[in-house]
Structure 1
Amino acid sequence: MPRKFGEIAFTPEVETAQSKRGSRETYERYIAKGPANDLITPEIAEFIAHLDGFYLGTVSSNGYPYIQFRGGSAGFSESA
Structure 2
Amino acid sequence: MNMVTSMTFLTTAEGKRISITFSEVDDDGRLIRENERIPRIVVDKNALMHIAELEDFALKIVDKQQSERN
- TM score, norm. by length of structure 2: 0.26
Larger RCO (CA within 8 A; separation ≥ 6): 1
More helix as a share of residues:
1
Greater share of strand: 2
